[in-house]
Amino acid sequence: MSRNFGLFQKNSLPKCQVRLSSSASSKLNISGIYPPIPTPFNEDESIAYDKLKFNMDKWNTVPFRGYVVQGSNGECCFQNWDERIEMVKKTKDFADPNKLIIGGSGCESTRDTILMTKNMADAGADAVLVVNPFYYKASMNNQALKTHFTKVADSSPVPIILYNVPPNTGMDIPPEVVVDLAHHPNIVGMKDSGGDITRLAALCFQTSSLDFQILAGSAGFLLAAYNIGCVGGVLGLANVLGEETCRLAQLAQTDDAKAAMDLQLRLVGPNTCVTRRFGVPGLKTALEWFGYYGGPTRLPLVPLGQQDVDIMRNVFKKSLYLD
Amino acid sequence: MSRNFGLFQKNSLPKCQVRLSSSASSKLNISGIYPPIPTPFNEDESIAYDKLKFNMDKWNTVPFRGYVVQGSNGECCFQNWDERIEMVKKTKDFADPNKLIIGGSGCESTRDTILMTKNMADAGADAVLVVNPFYYKASMNNQALKTHFTKVADSSPVPIILYNVPPNTGMDIPPEVVVDLAHHPNIVGMKDSGGDITRLAALCFQTSSLDFQILAGSAGFLLAAYNIGCVGGVLGLANVLGEETCRLAQLAQTDDAKAAMDLQLRLVGPNTCVTRRFGVPGLKTALEWFGYYGGPTRLPLVPLGQQDVDIMRNVFKKSLYLD
Amino acid sequence: MSRNFGLFQKNSLPKCQVRLSSSASSKLNISGIYPPIPTPFNEDESIAYDKLKFNMDKWNTVPFRGYVVQGSNGECCFQNWDERIEMVKKTKDFADPNKLIIGGSGCESTRDTILMTKNMADAGADAVLVVNPFYYKASMNNQALKTHFTKVADSSPVPIILYNVPPNTGMDIPPEVVVDLAHHPNIVGMKDSGGDITRLAALCFQTSSLDFQILAGSAGFLLAAYNIGCVGGVLGLANVLGEETCRLAQLAQTDDAKAAMDLQLRLVGPNTCVTRRFGVPGLKTALEWFGYYGGPTRLPLVPLGQQDVDIMRNVFKKSLYLD
Amino acid sequence: MSRNFGLFQKNSLPKCQVRLSSSASSKLNISGIYPPIPTPFNEDESIAYDKLKFNMDKWNTVPFRGYVVQGSNGECCFQNWDERIEMVKKTKDFADPNKLIIGGSGCESTRDTILMTKNMADAGADAVLVVNPFYYKASMNNQALKTHFTKVADSSPVPIILYNVPPNTGMDIPPEVVVDLAHHPNIVGMKDSGGDITRLAALCFQTSSLDFQILAGSAGFLLAAYNIGCVGGVLGLANVLGEETCRLAQLAQTDDAKAAMDLQLRLVGPNTCVTRRFGVPGLKTALEWFGYYGGPTRLPLVPLGQQDVDIMRNVFKKSLYLD
């Protein structure tokens, strides 16, 4: 699975299905498409586990590699310690057995992140996604970041995936830190939601001799990401247009560049709506349109106004996903 | 206590001492200087309550208006739910009875913030400091922010102080939101750590007919803040140079502009060291120099390297606070 | 005129009038208030020198220290080489003989800046204001900035004032560069429009033993600037409310802190309108309200829409400068 | 040449060669690769036209579509009015007759931009590249930008290419402005140096029924840009590694995705060195390594220090472009 420079091999198997690593590498193969699932709430803001099951029954029919639970789209930071773990457990229960379950276990402190990682592993997570601490961003120098991720990876019973999400954290994990951490046997890859394709290409190049797998963090640049060596994506849009995102992943790995471009361009507008532009309220609105349970967010996230709903509907129409 | 436009009255009483509002207003008088106290840890990262008592015995001799506990300088986001509450309780226990105790109760979700606010009030907080939610910054529009703070203020048993800290949150609470919230009977003021004095002057002007008290969030602009109508400060530097910061507050309210300027300029270098430049590790290093317990931070915050310690020592020397 | 630390002397003379340095220092005294005058245009975008004379006849009655011509408010970057020089010449001609004329001579290249500086000095400028080059901001490291300003100062027949204006340039001149340049005999001070009062206080402290004079670049923080050691201001608002800004400067140097605060707070709203919020189009609109010639801007600056005009009028009304 | 949605046709001809539009569209075909040529200087900072000829004799052997002269890499803002025009004239003289000459004609004012555009067209430019005005960035609202570009396009004798370069201008031309301007018959496309591939994909989608051609502004995301519908690139790196960048453009349009990725990843490090990381001084250093004349920059750009030269050399070595 290593990407030796000068010898990049595009795997001919569809990446959207489970494929256990058969190479000498001991690292978990995480390639493929994942929806970072939203947490469904009842009107009183309690977690609606029945609605989670309803949604997952539908998602299980899509050729996803697995699920990310308790990521940014899961309103992770609005849930308490026990809820975060219970959501992992329930997702594992409701998921097809061949799906990877990735839990978002990042906390601000190293000690909490270590404990949450263990708790999520116990609850059934096959791997964890660890966002960098960011509240004290001015103090998050290279040494602090390396120490944090190394300690978490050292003690984790499951593989670690780094999580870089500058729109939320207000910072980037510096490339030299990523390259350094890529050598750790228990750090298998990174999800990057920044969308700076030059940064991602540099990281793919610098980690090409290592077993380090990079996942696009948004469907807006999924094709571009595959074309410079990324191996999958954790895509908010996959919750809504799962088949289409998996199909884009497949096209990106075939030789039909025209079809891939066509589909990528259709997806970029809807993607922006359910991510940067309208956030989780936008995502939950769109879920309803496609037969899923959306439901309310927890406060302080507020529902979209009618004007924004109309804008969003128009964007989906222009891409021919709504009539 | 209202600042009627055209009739600004500088209170002739020293603001560093407790002074109950005698006006018609029912709002708590929060004017004065507060150290946002750091949380002392043992080498194993457990909370060192004995060291907290040691520090507070010293701070109690300084004419502070009170203490902020579980703010940014208190490594609030590295402590779990119970620790955050226990720290409020212990601070209340160790504080002189005439000191105001302000707990940092902000959480990302409205429901958690409401609950934490109640828990901190039960633990002895006289008021709470509520940072705006910021993880989903793109979704934190005016409606979201107003809803959040209003719901927290409506249900809180103690007064609310808004907390704007863009270096950590990556965003500002918009002025129009602040002005709107200033009308709420249970929102008594704001701590602003951004340092944009034009913004603060605009807010002082726009809330001049209301009972809304603004506190500077850093000693770097304390004099400037007083001179445009702010009534105090929550100052990281006050942990280290408490008497000096209280003296600057007094000078700012007298007519000795020369002495005030002189002291302000001396404090700006040391202040930058223990805040933006070296963060909590810098603050804890400086505490040791002045006879307090500093001790380790929790990870991922790492201790200063020797080079940074030397730079910091030099700055304190240039301001004549170290030999 | 040096500000020796621990011995800050507030000059008791009104700073708004011409006062030649009588100290041992050879540096030009630039203390006081300056309007950065707008360039008046006819409807066909040609320069209306008759309207310049009309405006200056009015400004000459205000106790300004002098005029800044070809600054940001003068739409400097929309004028060609000859126009920039001619505007300096005409301003000198129309100004009261006791006013200082400061020309904005900054260009992107060092060679152009040197030549423009000489041309403006020949045209009558008593000093020049030199904005840092900023197009190649990533390459404007400390060495580049020091080299640039030193070469310009070395060859200039008149004193140099550094100009830091991050809202337009997208960068700050680093404090260590400013402190270094403050030693140059032909660099007399800096205009800083960033409004970061902590930065300005640090610079005042670090240059307190030198003959380095800092001017506030906006009326929004003029009082704060005086109170930490600045000696004047170059204020867009001074074009419109000249008497009031000079009065604020005087109050800032007396002991009537209450009156100073009162006036500062009244000015902050109108100031924001004619600077950050509505820019030069806002300034030119407001000029008309107060009996000056405003006239059109050059494209691409477009006139304010009616809605913005109404907002602006409202702000001036709230501050009691319009009925 | 239109990119009808759902019917994207990859042109099977090599894009690096001149190909006149044979479609009904009257718009100039600008697809292909262009080096934005640096301006060679002698040690006294005068323009070394002999060295320009020397470099162009070499570049003429590379299958470039043409040359961009007086772009950011050409130190455009360090040259006076006559020099800017003369450089266009000389480039036209020295270029192979089948190369397109694109002049960078953007100025801050609309009137200057119109005049410079005409002057450059007279000097031989086949098209012009127009950066948005940015000094008054807060005033550069949609109306201002649309007015500016429309007036320039209306009066220009040659086609206009929009130029978005946020690292230098500190702002983006908003997507809705680009889409609006794409309808103008004399605006043929845009060069975008921001590198936000999601933004570019959205623009490609929204202009897919128009004859609007987007060029990548950096080799760091050239492959990604082609794969979402861009038709070429203006690449600083093309000055140094011209054959390689043209080969990447060709690979991007064939079905050998593996070879394209391989080459893209090799180029990303060297590209970053001669653009964002070390700027024009880096570019001129690298030119010397590959047999071109580099020479000095104009001040305030300063030569790279030895340490930076070593870093840069190492990056080129890792990509196997230096031994």
Q: What is the pLDDT of residues C262-294, one digit of tens each?
A: 999 999 999 999 999 999 999 999 999 999 999
Residue C5 has a pLDDT of 36
In angstroms, rounded to a whole number, what is the distance separating the alpha carbons of residues C225 and C234?
A: 12
- Tokens for C15, please give them: 């700073």
Residue D66 has a pLDDT of 98
CA C137 to each of CA A282, C60, C131, D308: distance values in angstroms, whole numbers, following the listed order: 37, 38, 13, 17
| Ordered per-residue pLDDT tens for chain D, 323 residues | 333 333 333 333 333 333 333 444 579 999 999 999 999 999 999 999 999 999 999 999 999 999 999 999 999 999 999 999 999 999 999 999 999 999 999 999 999 999 999 999 999 999 999 999 999 999 999 999 999 999 999 999 999 999 999 999 999 999 999 999 999 999 999 999 999 999 999 999 999 999 999 999 999 999 999 999 999 999 999 999 999 999 999 999 997 999 999 999 999 999 999 999 999 999 999 999 999 999 999 999 999 999 999 999 999 999 999 98
Which residue type, as a one-letter code, is found at position B269?
G
Residue B133, preceding bond cis, omega within 30 degrees?
no
- Taking residues A233-237, what's their average pLDDT? 98
- Tokens for A254, please give them: 């075939």
Q: In chain B, what are the helix, strand and coil shares in percent, each to the nearest 5?
A: 45, 10, 40
In angstroms, rounded to a whole number, what is the distance separating the alpha carbons of residues B112 and B41?
A: 25
Is a pLDDT exceeding 60 seen at residue B272? Answer: yes
Burial class (CB in 10 A: 0-12, 13-18, 19+), B255: middle
In angstroms, rounded to a whole number, what is the distance separating the alpha carbons of residues A304 and A310?
A: 10
Question: A235 to chain B nearest CA, in Å?
Answer: 17
Is a pLDDT exceeding 70 seen at residue B305? Answer: yes
Spatial CA neighbour of C159 closest among C191, C137, C196, C202: C191
The C-alpha R_g of chain C, in whole angstroms, comes to 18
Residue C224: its H or E element: helix C222-227
- Rounded to the nearest 10 degrees, the angle between the axes of helix B257-272 and helix C197-206 is 100
Residue C14 has a pLDDT of 35
What residues have CB less than 8 Å from B40, skipping those under 6 apart?
A: B47, B48, B49, B51, B52, B55, B293, B294, B295
Side-chain-side CA neighbours of residue D110 (13 Å): 21
Residues of D with catalytic function? 191
Spatial CA neighbour of C250 closest among C265, C266, C233: C233
B33 has which bridge partners? B233
For D4, name the nearest residue in chain A, comparing CA atoms only: A262
Residue C77 has a pLDDT of 96
Judged by a CB distance cut-off of 8 A, whether residue A311 touches chain D is no
Which of residues 171 through 200 in chain D touch C, CB cutoff 8 A? Answer: none
Q: Say which of B138, B298, B300 has its CB closest to residue A167.
A: B138
Residue C255 has a pLDDT of 78
Say which CATH superfamily domain A32-254 falls into: Aldolase class I (3.20.20.70)
Contacts of A229 in chain D (CB under 8 A): 261, 265
Residue A300, preceding bond cis, omega within 30 degrees?
yes
Question: A269 to chain D nearest CA, in Å?
Answer: 6
Please indicate whether, in this complex, the C-beta atoms of C78 and D109 are within 8 angstroms of each other.
yes
Residue C300, preceding bond cis, omega within 30 degrees?
yes
Question: For chain B, how many residues are written?
Answer: 323
Is a pLDDT exceeding 50 seen at residue C322? Answer: yes
Residue burial B73-102, b: 16+ Cβ < 10 Å; e: rest: bbbbbbbeeebbbebbbbbbebbeeebbbb
pTM: 0.92
CA A261 to chain centre: 22
Residue A26 has a pLDDT of 76
Is a pLDDT exceeding 70 seen at residue C9? Answer: no
The C-alpha R_g of chain A, in whole angstroms, comes to 18
Residue D218 has a pLDDT of 97
Residue B33: its H or E element: strand B32-34
Spatial CA neighbour of D38 closest among D214, D298, D289, D232: D298
For residues B241 and A100, the answer to whether their CB atoms sit within 8 Å is no
Please indicate whether, in this complex, the C-beta atoms of D221 and A202 are within 8 angstroms of each other.
no
C103 has which bridge partners? C69, C128
Residue D92: its H or E element: helix D81-94
pLDDT tens digits for range C194-246: 999 999 999 999 999 999 999 999 999 999 999 999 999 999 999 999 999 99
In angstroms, rounded to a whole number, what is the distance separating the alpha carbons of residues A193 and A183?
A: 21
Spatial CA neighbour of B196 closest among B176, B169, B170, B224: B224
Is a pLDDT exceeding 50 seen at residue B138? Answer: yes
Question: For chain A, how many residues are written?
Answer: 323
Residue D23 has a pLDDT of 44
Helix (H, G, I), strand (E, B) or coil at C160: strand
Residue that the structure tokens 């009875």 belong to: B97
Q: Say which of D198, D228, D261 has its CB closest to residue A228.
A: D261
Which residue type, as a one-letter code, is found at position C209?
S
In angstroms, rounded to a whole number, what is the distance separating the alpha carbons of residues B31 and B18?
A: 9
Helix (H, G, I), strand (E, B) or coil at D160: strand
Helix (H, G, I), strand (E, B) or coil at D140: coil
Please indicate whether, in this complex, the C-beta atoms of B144 and A302 are within 8 angstroms of each other.
yes
For residues B34 and B218, the answer to whether their CB atoms sit within 8 Å is no
Residue A25 has a pLDDT of 57
For residues D1 and D27, the answer to whether their CB atoms sit within 8 Å is yes
Residue A37: its H or E element: strand A36-37
Residue from C191, C258, C317, C318 carrying the catalytic annotation: C191
- ipTM (interface pTM): 0.91
Spatial CA neighbour of D149 closest among D126, D135, D132, D164: D132
Residue D26 has a pLDDT of 75
Residue A184 DSSP one-character state: S
In angstroms, rounded to a whole number, what is the distance separating the alpha carbons of residues A44 and C129?
A: 61
In angstroms, rounded to a whole number, what is the distance separating the alpha carbons of residues B200 and B216?
A: 9
Please indicate whether, in this complex, the C-beta atoms of D201 and A229 are within 8 angstroms of each other.
no
In angstroms, rounded to a whole number, what is the distance separating the alpha carbons of residues D240 and D261?
A: 20
pLDDT tens digits for range B222-245: 999 999 999 999 999 999 999 999
Judged by a CB distance cut-off of 8 A, whether residue A228 touches chain D is yes
In angstroms, rounded to a whole number, what is the distance separating the alpha carbons of residues B129 and B153?
A: 11
pLDDT tens digits for range B35-85: 999 999 999 999 999 999 999 999 999 999 999 999 999 999 999 999 999
In angstroms, rounded to a whole number, what is the distance separating the alpha carbons of residues B115 and A298?
A: 14
For residues A314 and A306, the answer to whether their CB atoms sit within 8 Å is no
What residues have CB less than 8 Å from C115, skipping those under 6 apart?
A: none
Torsion sign, CA atoms D253, D258, D259, D260: positive
Torsion sign, CA atoms A160, A164, A170, A176: positive
Please indicate whether, in this complex, the C-beta atoms of B301 and A276 are within 8 angstroms of each other.
no
Judged by a CB distance cut-off of 8 A, whether residue A269 touches chain D is yes
Backbone phi and psi for residue B80, each to the nearest 5 degrees, phi listed first:
-85, 175
Please indicate whether, in this complex, the C-beta atoms of C8 and B261 are within 8 angstroms of each other.
yes
pLDDT tens digits for range A154-206: 999 999 999 999 999 999 999 999 999 999 999 999 999 999 999 999 999 99
In angstroms, rounded to a whole number, what is the distance separating the alpha carbons of residues D203 and D205?
A: 5
Architecture of domain D32-260: Alpha-Beta Barrel (3.20)
Q: Mark whether A118 is an active-site residue.
A: no
Backbone phi and psi for residue C148, each to the nearest 5 degrees, phi listed first:
-60, -55
Q: Say which of D78, D138, D147 has its CB closest to residue C299.
A: D147
Helix (H, G, I), strand (E, B) or coil at C289: helix
In angstroms, rounded to a whole number, what is the distance separating the alpha carbons of residues D238 and C33?
A: 51
The CA-based angle B52-B55-B59, given to 5 degrees, is: 125
Residue burial C236-253, b: 16+ Cβ < 10 Å; e: rest: bbbbbbbebbbbbbbbbb
Is a pLDDT exceeding 50 seen at residue A6? Answer: no
Torsion sign, CA atoms D276, D279, D282, D286: positive
Spatial CA neighbour of A264 closest among B264, D202, D109, B246: D202
Report the residue of C227, C235, C271, C273 to disrupt the B interface, i.e. the one with the largest count of B CBs within 10 Å.
C227
In angstroms, rounded to a whole number, what is the distance separating the alpha carbons of residues B158 and B102?
A: 10
CATH code for the domain defined by B32-256: 3.20.20.70
Domain ranges of chain D: 32-260
For residues B58 and B311, the answer to whether their CB atoms sit within 8 Å is no
In angstroms, rounded to a whole number, what is the distance separating the alpha carbons of residues B308 and A72?
A: 35
What single string gives the DSSP state of each residue in B39-78?
Answer: PPB-TTS-B-HHHHHHHHHHHTTS--SEEEESSGGGTGGG
CATH number for C32-267: choose from 3.30.70.120, 3.40.50.150, 3.10.20.90, 3.20.20.70. 3.20.20.70
The CA-based angle C280-C285-C291, given to 5 degrees, is: 120
Judged by a CB distance cut-off of 8 A, whether residue C291 touches chain D is no
- In B95-156, alpha helices (H): 110-122, 142-155
